Amino acid sequence: INAEYGGCSRDELTETFDVNVAGVHVVTAALRPLLARPSEDGILGKVINISSELGSIANTHNSFTTAYRVSKAALNMLTRCTATDLIRDNVICVAVHPGWVRTDLGGPNAPLSVEDSVRDVVEIVEGAGREHNGMYVRKGLTPEPY
């Protein structure tokens, strides 16, 4: 059965979830040995998952892009779960909303250039510490509502 419900088909939901959640899980698991570091050096391994404000359950008021929204909400949960596991290896996990960016997905009306978004995400990567482990943030490490 591939009935359309909630603005998407089962195939669309499955494919989007496979890319945005299962794919992230598999890559993180494969890279885990490279991310783990001795805690004496004070350097943390970091997993930065690119989420979206559309993945915020608290801020959802319509079914626009249901498959994408559901996958990003699941990615945020995966980030929290992974954070609790990887911190033992001195690795933190953070989900990041990069802003609404002018890309093929974001469209030409998006307010942020790719360069500005990348600059903001790099700032998050550099600034994220243990206190941000498991968080869902945007520019300036500002928390986003789950």
Mean pLDDT split into 10-residue runs, the chain, 146 residues? 72 96 98 81 87 94 89 98 95 96 92 96 96 96 94
Cβ-proximal residues to 95 (8 Å cutoff; 6+ apart), any chain: 49, 50, 51, 55, 75, 76, 79, 135, 136, 137, 144
Per the document, the length of the chain is: 146
Euclidean distance between CA atoms 48 and 33, whole angstroms: 16
pTM of the predicted model as reported, rounded to 2 decimal places: 0.90
What is the DSSP pairing of strand 45-50 with strand 91-96?
parallel
Residues 6+ apart with CB under 8 A from 143: 135, 136, 137
